Structures are given as C-alpha cells and as structure tokens.
Amino acid sequence: MTFENEHLLPGQIGHFFVLLAFVTSIVSAIAYFKASRISLENEKGYWMRFARGAFFLQFISLISVFACIYYICSHHYFEYLYAYKHASLELEAKYLLACIWEGQEGSFLLWSIWHCVLGSIVILTAKKREAPVMAIVNTAQFFLTLMLLGIYMFGTKIGSNPFNLTRNELAGPIFSQSNYLSFIKDGIGLNVLLRNYWMVIHPPVLFLGFASTLIPTAFAFSSLSNKDFGSWVKPVLPWALFSGMVLGVGIMMGGKWAYESLSFGGYWAWDPVENASLVPWIIMVAGLHCMVIYKATGNALRAAYLFTILSYLFVLYSTFLTRTGILGDTSVHSFTEAGLSMNILIGLYVIGITVPVLFLFFKNFNKIPSIQKEENLSSREFWMFIGSIVLFLSAIFIIAVTSLPVYNKIFGTNLADPQDREFTYNKVLVLVAIIIGLLTGSGQYFRYKNTPKKYLISKLIWPFGIALVISVLLGFIYPIEYVKKGPGFLAAIYLALFASIYAVVANTGYLKTVLKGNLKAGGGAIAHVGFTLMIAGMLVSSGNKNVISDNRFTGINIPFDKDPTGRSTENPMENLTLLKGIPTQMGRYIVTYMDDSTSANEKTRTFYHLHFEKKDPKTGETLENFVLSPDSYRMKDNNLSSNPDTRHYFTHDVFTYISTISVHKTDDDTTTFKIKEMAIGDSAFYDKGYFVLNSVEKNPDNERFHFTPNDTALVADITVHGNDSTRHKAYPALTISNQQLSFIDDTVITQNIYLNLSGITKDQKFKVGIRENNAPTDFITLKAFIFPYINLVWVGLIIMALGFVISLVRRAKAAKLISAFAIGFVLLSLIYMFLLANA
Amino acid sequence: MKTSSIIILVTIAAAIGALLMYSVDFSTYDTIASAKEKQGTYVHMIAKLDKSKPIQYDAIKDPNYLSFYAVDSVGGSTRVIYRNTKPPELETSERVVLKGTMNGDVFDCDNILLKCPSKYKDDKSQLEKTLTTN
C-alpha cells in the first residue's frame, strides 16, 4: 500500500548519515588504535590521515543527522515517531531544540556531537597524544552511534532510530488506511515542564560537561598504555579545568531551571538526577587538585589517575541511573523507562572504555611514580590532598545514598528514601562545607613542601579575624532562622557560614597581597572565592527562605473538619487561597488576584496576574508595587503543571507558584435577589446560615464610605453568620443623587452571597435583598516564598566559572587575544543568563 | 606519604564513614496492612486511590487539607490525610506512593508521588491510545 502525504526523503537521508557515522566511528577508532601502536613515521602518518578523514566524515554525518531531525520536527512530519512524540503544532520555534533533546535519541546525538567538537580540538592541539586519545573518543562514539542505530543484539533491541516511522512503530486501525496521516492532527509535544528557555540551553551545556570528562580519561589511557606516567598531567590540566567549569555551570543551570520553572520551590532538592551530575563534578575537581599537586611536587599522581577515571565512570553511572528507569519512584524528573536495552548499552560502554582503563591503572599501579618521603604537615600539598580526599568522600557519600534503588534491585530489599531526604544530605554536607571552607581559605597561604609557622600565622590571622567579625555581626543583624532541625544543625550552619566567609576573605586577600593583584595567576583563588561565595549564598538563601503564603495568619482559613489524629500542625500551612479581587495579607505584602489571561500561542496555558503591594505600616505609603504572573498549563486529562513567577531584587527574590486553580463552570447566573423585610436587630436565614441587621446609618463617614451631610445615603450594617461558624460584616448601601436612586451592593465571597439594601417599607422596616450564588468563585491557591540573597549563589557561580577559565587559558598557554575572548565570553554570557535574562 | 598522613587520612575516612552509617535513616516500602502494624513509623506506602469513596478537598475553605481513601493490591484500605494542596492528577493516577506515618486508622501523609499514564511517552500502548483521540 502506498501512503499519502508522507515525506520519506529526510528520514532516508538521516538514516544514511546515522549508518555513515556508525561506520566511520569504527573505522576511525581502529585506524587511531593502529596509529598509536606504530612508531614508524611514514606508516603512522598514513594511518593518522586515514583516521582523521574518517573522524571528520563522522562529524559531518552527525551534524547532518541533527539537521534532518530538526527539519522533521520543525515541519511537523508526524509520520516520524520522533516528531510525533516530541513536537506539536503549537510549540514555539524557540522550544524546537528543547523538544529534540527531550528524547533519548536527541540527547545522545547531542552528546556525540560534542565529542566530535572536543575531538577536533584534540586533533589540533594534542600532537603525539592524538592517536591514543582519539582512539578512545572514537570508541565512545561507536557506543553512542550504536544508540541511534536501533539494531537487535542478544535478542534485545539496542537503541532506537530517530527516523522510525510512526506507522511501523505503533499499531492502530488508522494505519490500514492510505490517508492515515490526515487522522494524526497533532503531535504530543514537549512536556510542559520543559517549556522554558533554560531547557534550550541547559542540556547542551550539561552534555558538553559530560562529554568533556571523556578527554581526561582518554589522556590517562594514553599515558598508561604508553607507560609514560606523569607527562600527561600538563596537557590534561586545561581539559580538566574545562570539564570542571562546564560541568559546574551546567549543573547550576539545571538548578536555575528548577528554580525558574519547577514547583518544588528552590534550585536544589537533592534529587537523584541532580546528584548524579554533581558527583562526577566533585570527583573531577578532586582530580584537578591532585594534578596541580603532582605538577608542583610530584605527589598524588595515582590519585590524579584514579579520580580522573572515576569521574568518567560516574558520568556513565549517572546515565545509567537517569535513563534506565531504575530511579522510578524516587525522582521527580528521571527519564522514563528505556529498560533492558539501555542497561546493555551502558554496560557495553563501561566494559568497552572504563574497565580497560581502570585495568591498566591497577596493572601499572606500582609503576606509577610516587614520592616515598612523608609530606610535611605544613606543606600546601598535604592540605590540598586532604581537601581532595574530603571532596571525593563526600561524592561517594552522595552517590551511596542516591543509589538506594540500585541496592533494592540487587539485594531485593524494600528500603525507601529517608523521611527527610534533603536533611540526610544537608547534615553531612554542611560539615563538608566547614572543612572545605577552612581548607580553601588556609590552603592558599601554605607553600609547597614547607611553610614557616610565623609566616602562616601572620597571614592567616587577618582573614580569620575579619571573617569572625562578619559572622558575629551577621548573627546579630541578620540571624539565620533555620531552627527546625535543632540547635546543633543551626550551629553547623553558622560554622559553615563562617568557614565560607573566611575562605572568601582569605582568597581575596591572597589575590591582593601575595599575588599583588596579578589576576592572570589568580585563577585558582578567584574560583575559590566564587565557590565559597556560592556556598555562603546557599546557606543564607536556604537557611532564611521564608514562606509568606502562611495560612495561619490570614482570615479565610476555616477549619471545617476536625483533625481526627488530633495532631497540632506545627509546620506552617504553605498554601494560601486567593479569591479573585479580594486583597489578602501575605507576609508584608497585600496580594490581590486580579485576573487571568490565556497565552497567545498555547491554548492550555493561563497566566494569573497577582498584584503585590507593600505599604509602610506607619505612613501608609506604598513601598513596593508589582505584578507577578505565575502560570499553569491545564492538560487534557486535568493535569496541572505550573510555572513560577519571581520578582527579582538585588537582595532577595519573591517567588510564587500556583498549586490549585478553580474550575470554571459556565452556569448562567440567573438567581435573583430575595427581598427580606427586616427591622433593626432582626435576623433572616439563607442557605448556609443567617444574617443580622445590626443598624442602618445615615451618611456615615468611616473607612469604607465617606459621605457628607449633604448626601442622601443609607448604609446597612449586617453581620453574616455562616453555618461553618464564621462571621462576616457586610455594608450594602443605597444613595440618592440627582433624583437618581442607586445601590451599592456588598458581597461575602466565602459564603457566595450578595447583599443589597433596596429600600424602606411603609412600616419602617428595611428591605434587604440577598442573592445566593452557587457557582464557585474564581480562586487560585498558591505558594509564595522569599529567597534572601539568592543572587550570591549566582554571582558566586559566575566568579567560580571566571576563575576556571582564567586558569584554563593560562595552563593552555593560549594567545592573549583568545584568552581575552574566552574570559569575556564566559563572563558576559553567564552574567546575561543568570542575572539579567529574566530579572 | 607516611604514617602520620595515613593516620589522618584513615581517621577522616572513618569519621565520614561513621557519619554516613549513623545519619542515613532509610525508610521502607510497606503495604497498608504492614504500615498499620508499624504505627508511628515513617513508611512509603504503594497504593492507589479508592475511587468508590469521596475525596474531600475545598481550596476555598482550607487549601492545606486533603482527605481520601487508598487501597492496595493486597486488600488493605485506609483513610489518608494530606496537609497540602490536592495534586491535580490524583483522580487520574494509576498508582500513588504515599509517604508518612500511620496513626490509628488514618495515614498521615506528608508527600504524595503520583504515577500517571500521561507521563509515559515511551509507553507504546499509551501512545497508541493518544494517537486517535487528539
């Protein structure tokens, strides 16, 4: 049967390039291996040229595959399963890239393209190490392109081809018709959680970070296989720095994405997916420090090898955790099941690359030079090494706790996450932060080999004193109020805060006094300032995160069901309901839910406009006045997916997101006012209670009405007693001006009633009209937080990245122009992304 | 590297190891019946929403109070109270993981994880279902 309106050409082209990339990766890997074993110049040169040719052909193929996928998705060719699953007609063009890396195939493609980019730089710079390093890179490429092939191996389908056709993959009656495409109206589209600009840029950066950890491993392999230990450290340092920078930035971009668009209320939740990418970074940083130690003293070479290899192993392990569905119930955002095939693929990958390199490492362990002499306790290398070990152990701790679902799988246990997952990590890592803060602060002033005690004390006393003064002042002026975990944890937070302030001061002082402001040599100190500033920012912003949507202090929280457990609720009720048009006190803000509007492009997306106003309690002057518009998607099956909106200030952020919205019923509001004739003091019933007419005043001048004696106005004072034992005041009024009678009705929203004063009867009773409205009122329920000093986190990250790139260009001995460009690029793009883009 | 360094390293490693052992207080996955036996212990319960019983939630009155009934595959049933907003997908969920403690006949829940059919893009039968309905 021939099918109508299919566009098969782009898929065929794409498939061809997938095959070409696969074949060229094998060819290039073999040719590079061959070249690395040959010492004869002529023959080696022949293999090298061949390998390079195959590599660049592979690069072009992968770019072409990407172009084909992009073409298919952007043209909404739903005959391709990939486009059907990830694209949709309403998807804005800016999210097309995000929809490509939403799927497994697209993200692996991205990863392999980064390998090609990095491989090209290796070819340009690595000289005699090119062959062994590129052999490893191409082996990795072989496994990644295998992922795109979709072939059967051991009876299991390995990987999947992004150009598979919907009609071949799915079963359904429509596929027996030649015009089946006319039945597929729209694709499923990008998961609404991912419709955020961070999702466009964060995966490429993170995958570049993942891809970059391969290169140090490949360098380690090159030295181990040539038995040329040690000399790899110098060329690998820039790569390790690059990896540390990109991975670090990528992880925090993920945090920023979570902060901007997820509703767990923060940038870090110790989610397994987050941990899985953090661990390789920590180990890479530990390895980086060992490399620096080796370069300066000849120590720690074995650790440098081990950490480098393990960093890459944990990248693969993190892929395993996030992509095989093993995390299942423990993570909010792991990829969905890919099952056995992904396990096999990652297993092959580990066996193919990590195991041989690790094997070589252990085989040569005794041959790797190490210094037998004891390190001096007053030497820099000793404390740097301690720091690396602490980092490494904390990484092991994180991954050990994160791997819980893996233990369950292996040992058949049914252990679950601890009650307070975040605290489980925080209570250990706050101690790590104390140690690391003290080490990074003091470490700089130690000299390699040996440091005179007097020198050390004279240098360290100042930062120590300054940090102590700042911490104590902070304790009085701006105390951390995180008391829910007890005084011990609070003390640990203060110690960690002191340690990180100390590190910031000490490293800044080091830049100024020891390096005499020579910023070029100060990459390390700058990175340390940034890192510890980030830690300080995390401690303050999380420690003093303040829930302002606290239900206990507002009027409309009505307990309607007695708590059967009799539990007193100590934790604040963090959700607050706002009725449309009713100002509600929230922290120091008066918040009004004004109205909502539907997004122009996406029909299911609604923005809720909230007016925030902060008044000076004494003068009544408006201090702040702004509108936040958090939004939510209401999906076909009633799923609600919310995006927060945040007001950024220099010192704090006001963060809101919607947790529940009212469902509209389009009942006509046909109920009319029922008139009751009441004397003063009379009461009358309505559906949900009764109300009392307390008094009727003539021309009152009060908070609500400002009548003068010249007006003709009557205002009724009514108390509404609801059946739910609530009381509300209502003041309906009638006025006469220019012979015209007009009514000012009043409403009691929570009771859904409208009250109206419609006149006076002949026997001096008042006519009070009541209208009961059974249609639900518009409301939203939201959470709102204040994050204080969260900008310290982002500024710290930017400074850290700056330190990395300064070290990188110095270690790589890059030309001035390139260095300046690299530093400028990193600085400007990060400042734009983290501080300006959505401020 | 010699004795003193090694001693310091081992001490640090041991201290961190001990901290790890001491600090991680893993919970367990339980059925409703076994959770009822462990009164007051924090557990993870795998269950599903009992659709025959009412869900009580009124965001206007109290947005932080949700009450519903859960059943599990081995016949257990319990009332669940969750002091938070109602997850919008609750009614359509196929399976829920409830974290909290059992107090008498009521499960005091502080976290709900929902497994919803719509989340599984890679599930073929689900894709086939959506294929013709949109």
Mutation target vs B (from A660, A662, A774; most B CBs, 10 A cutoff): A660
Arithmetic mean of pLDDT, B73-81: 90
Could you list the beta-strand ranges (E) of A89-213: 151-153, 156-158
Phi-psi group of B100: left, alpha or beta (phi > 0 → left; psi -120 to 50 → alpha; rest → beta)? left
User: Residue A213 in contact with residue A247, Cβ under 8 Å?
Assistant: yes
| Separation of alpha carbons A456 and A134, rounded Å | 45
User: Residue A807 in contact with residue A782, Cβ under 8 Å?
Assistant: no
Q: Which amino acid is at A475?
A: G
A336 contact residues in B (CB cutoff 8 A): 119-123
Q: What are phi and psi for residue B99, nearest 5 degrees?
A: -110, 135
B65 contact residues in A (CB cutoff 8 A): 560-561
Tell whether A629 lies on the interface with B, counting CB pairs under 8 A. no
A622, HSE (Cβ side, Cα atoms, 13 Å) = 7
Tell whether A724 lies on the interface with B, counting CB pairs under 8 A. yes
Please answer yes or no on whether A637 and B89 come within 8 Å at the CB atom: yes
Among the partner-chain residues B30, B60, B130, the one whose CB lies closest to the CB of A188 is B130
Strands B27-30 and B42-49 turn out to be parallel
Nearest to residue A789, comparing CAs of A499, A474, A536, A588?
A536
Arithmetic mean of pLDDT, A125-141: 93
pLDDT of residue B27: 85
Arithmetic mean of pLDDT, A6-28: 95
Among the partner-chain residues A397, A559, A637, the one whose CB lies closest to the CB of B92 is A637
- Beta-ladder partners of A685: A690
Across all residues in chain A, what is the average pLDDT? 86
Q: Of A193 and A684, which is predicted with more confidence? A: A684
pLDDT of residue B3: 59
Q: Does the pLDDT of residue A564 top 50, yes or no?
A: no
Mutation target vs A (from B2, B11, B27; most A CBs, 10 A cutoff): B27
| Separation of alpha carbons A21 and A331, rounded Å | 34
Q: What percent of chain B has pLDDT over 90?
A: 15
How far is it between the farthest Cα atoms of chain B? 72
Nearest to residue A229, comparing CAs of A134, A298, A131?
A298
Helix axis angle, A791-811 relative to A816-830, nearest 10°? 170
Q: Which amino acid is at A22?
A: F
Size of interface A-B (CB pairs under 8 A): 187
pLDDT of residue B104: 87
CA dihedral A277, A547, B42, A268 (to 10 degrees): 0
Nearest to residue A507, comparing CAs of A490, A529, A487?
A529
Burial (Cβ within 10 Å: 0-12, 13-18, ≥19) of residue A364: middle
Q: Does the pLDDT of residue B133 top 90, yes or no?
A: no
Arithmetic mean of pLDDT, A86-108: 86
Q: Does the pLDDT of residue A556 top 50, yes or no?
A: no
Please answer yes or no on whether A569 and B67 come within 8 Å at the CB atom: no
Q: What are phi and psi for residue A637, nearest 5 degrees?
A: -95, 30
What is the 3-state composition of chain B as percent helix, strand, coil, each rounded to the nearest 5? 30, 35, 30
Q: Does the pLDDT of residue A350 top 60, yes or no?
A: yes
Q: Of A604 and A253, which is predicted with more confidence? A: A253
- Residue with tokens 């668009």, as numbered in its chain: A261
| Separation of alpha carbons A388 and A282, rounded Å | 9
Phi-psi group of A451: left, alpha or beta (phi > 0 → left; psi -120 to 50 → alpha; rest → beta)? beta
pLDDT of residue A212: 96
DSSP letters spanning A19-61? HHHHHHHHHHHHHHHHHHH---HHHHHHHHHHHHHHHHHHHHH
The per-residue pLDDT for range A244-286, each reduced to its tens digit, is 999 999 999 999 988 887 766 788 989 888 899 999 999 999 9
pLDDT of residue A2: 81
- Residue with tokens 């301690």, as numbered in its chain: A386
Nearest to residue A105, comparing CAs of A126, A124, A85, A134?
A85
Nearest chain A residue to B42 by CA distance is: A419
The per-residue pLDDT for range A649-659, each reduced to its tens digit, is 888 899 888 88
Q: Which two tokens stand for residue A39?
A: 């010492």
Nearest to residue A246, comparing CAs of A214, A274, A291, A211?
A211
- Beta-ladder partners of A689: A686, A722
Q: Which band of pLDDT confidence, cut at 50, 70 and 90, is reported for residue A437? A: very high
Q: What percent of chain A has pLDDT over 90?
A: 39
Arithmetic mean of pLDDT, A548-577: 53
DSSP letter assigned to residue A759: E
DSSP letter assigned to residue A562: -
Q: Does the pLDDT of residue A342 top 50, yes or no?
A: yes
User: Residue A782 in contact with residue A773, Cβ under 8 Å?
Assistant: no
Query: Which residues, in sequence order, are CB contacts of A114 under 8 Å at separation 6+?
Result: A204, A207, A208, A210, A211, A212
The per-residue pLDDT for range A31-83, each reduced to its tens digit, is 999 999 888 888 999 999 999 999 999 999 999 999 999 999 999 999 999 99
Q: Does the pLDDT of residue A28 top 60, yes or no?
A: yes
| Separation of alpha carbons A658 and A661, rounded Å | 7
pLDDT of residue B69: 93
CA dihedral A75, A81, A86, A91 (to 10 degrees): 30
Least trusted range by pLDDT, from A4-13, A187-196, A350-359: A187-196
Query: Which residues, in sequence order, are CB contacts of A750 under 8 Å at separation 6+?
Result: A556, A558, A579, A722, A726, A728, B60, B61
User: Residue A614 in contact with residue A592, Cβ under 8 Å?
Assistant: no
The per-residue pLDDT for range A440-489, each reduced to its tens digit, is 999 989 988 888 888 889 889 999 999 999 999 999 998 888 888 888 89
| Separation of alpha carbons B38 and A339, rounded Å | 34
State how far the alpha carbon of A456 is from the alpha carbons of A445, A527, A773, in Å. 7, 22, 77
Among the partner-chain residues A169, A418, A779, the one whose CB lies closest to the CB of B60 is A779
Least trusted range by pLDDT, from A150-154, A361-365, A631-635: A150-154
- Residue with tokens 């096999």, as numbered in its chain: A344
Q: What are phi and psi for residue B103, nearest 5 degrees?
A: -125, 105
Nearest to residue A58, comparing CAs of A133, A130, A134?
A134
Nearest to residue A285, comparing CAs of A392, A210, A370?
A392
pLDDT of residue A50: 95
Q: Of A496 and B88, which is predicted with more confidence? A: A496
**Which residues in chain B (51-90) have CB-CB distances under 8 A to chain A?**
56, 58-65, 67, 79, 81, 83-86, 88-89
Tell whether A401 lies on the interface with B, counting CB pairs under 8 A. yes
Tell whether A621 lies on the interface with B, counting CB pairs under 8 A. no
Q: Which band of pLDDT confidence, cut at 50, 70 and 90, is reported for residue A666? A: very low
Burial (Cβ within 10 Å: 0-12, 13-18, ≥19) of residue A832: exposed
Q: Which two tokens stand for residue A306?
A: 């081990």
| Separation of alpha carbons A442 and A505, rounded Å | 10
DSSP letters spanning A417-469? --SSHHHHHHHHHHHHHHHHHHHHHHHTTSPSS---HHHHHHHHHHHHHHHHH
Query: Which residues, in sequence order, are CB contacts of A543 under 8 Å at separation 6+?
Result: A480, A481, A482, A493
| Separation of alpha carbons A309 and A105, rounded Å | 26
Q: Which two tokens stand for residue B57?
A: 């939630």
State how far the alpha carbon of A797 is from the alpha carbons of A245, A259, A289, A536, in Å. 10, 15, 19, 11
Q: Which secondary-structure segment (H or E) carries A770?
A: strand A766-772
Tell whether A176 lies on the interface with B, counting CB pairs under 8 A. no
DSSP letter assigned to residue A332: S
Nearest chain B residue to A170 by CA distance is: B128
User: Residue A692 in contact with residue A681, Cβ under 8 Å?
Assistant: yes
Arithmetic mean of pLDDT, B17-36: 79
Helices (H), A444-550: 453-477, 486-509, 523-543
Q: What is the ipTM of this complex?
A: 0.83
Could you list the beta-strand ranges (E) of A559-711: 576-579, 584-586, 589-598, 605-615, 622-628, 631-634, 640-643, 645-648, 652-661, 674-678, 683-686, 689-698
| Separation of alpha carbons A786 and A766, rounded Å | 49
Strands A584-586 and A589-598 turn out to be antiparallel
Q: Which band of pLDDT confidence, cut at 50, 70 and 90, is reported for residue A15? A: very high
Question: Which of A124-162 are b and which e, b meaning 16 or more Cβ less than 10 Å from the residue's Cβ?
Answer: eebeebbbbbbbbbbbbbbbbbbbbbbeeeeeeebbbbb
